[in-house]
Amino acid sequence: MDIETLHLGPFKIKNKIAIRLFSALDDRLGVKEIVDDEVFEKIVPAHLGFWSCFGGISFFLFISQALTGMLLMVYYQPTIEEAHATVAMIMNEVPFGWLVRGSHSWGSNLMLVTIMIHMVKIYVSGIYKPPRELNWVVGVTLLLLTMGLSFTGYLLPWTQLAYWATVVGTETPAALPYVGEYIRYAMRGGEEIGQVTLTRFFAIHVMLLPVITASVIGLHLVQIRRQGIAGPM
């Protein structure tokens, strides 16, 4: 590796400290070869167009949701006494809190829209067919996980709209025979929606579902890299 200049794709790094640190990492993990082969030297098929961008946009929105969610957790308190007050404080008192909360709120809606557009494009193009049918199943799983994130996050501001929407959402599985009542009870943590419900939704929203979703996204990307991008219609 050139001591004076590090060539990483189209970029040139001349800082000696950065070069030494990268060289030490590259000697042990072969980072430069991986980055060059998988990022900078990867040829994008010519047939890809605007409608092929929505998978990447969905991934970007997931990263944005994770970052803005972490910032919101600095001030948010998941109690029925303080939840709404802390959200109001974030919106009105915390510097740029309105921007972070707005980005998180609208980002969840946009993520669902972009995923749906991406899946319609995949279906119309027939990309879901063998040998990529397993990746289609993974994609549907990601859609369900995203819907779960949206549903569990909707209650957290603890507004009237969020409360009654959760009432309707948790009543829906109760229509299932035999197991419906048990599912409703498990979702609410009791007969009524209260502190246990809020705590349960908060834990699922910020801990369980993001970890599962990130893992499934990783599997989705690995399958795409292994199978390659499908050809034109």
Instruction: Give dist(CA 112, CA 153) in Å, integer.
Output: 14
What tokens appear for 48 in the block? 């890809």
State the total domains in the chain: 2
Does 17 lie in the same domain as 98?
no
Q: 154-206: per-residue pLDDT in tens?
A: 999 999 999 999 999 999 999 999 999 999 999 999 999 999 999 999 999 99
Instruction: Give dist(CA 189, CA 154) in Å, integer.
Output: 17
Neighbouring residues of 64: CB distance < 8 A, sequence distance ≥ 6? 103, 107
The residue that leads in pLDDT, 92 or 4, is 92
Does 105 lie in the same domain as 25?
no
Does 210 lie in the same domain as 105?
yes
- Structural domain for 11, as ranges: 6-40
Does 161 lie in the same domain as 106?
yes
Does 190 lie in the same domain as 111?
yes
Does 26 lie in the same domain as 74?
no
Opening angle at CA 222, ends 227 and 51, nearest 5: 70
Q: 28-84: per-residue pLDDT in tens?
A: 888 887 777 777 766 666 667 788 899 999 999 999 999 999 999 999 999 999 999
Nearest to 216 by CA among 142, 133, 150: 142
pTM, to two decimals: 0.84
Does 66 lie in the same domain as 36?
no
Does 67 lie in the same domain as 11?
no
CATH code (residue 128): 1.20.810.10
Provide the 3-class DSSP secondary structure of residue 42.
coil
Provide the 3-class DSSP secondary structure of residue 6.
strand
Does 75 lie in the same domain as 23?
no
Is residue 210's pLDDT more than 90? yes
Does 213 lie in the same domain as 113?
yes
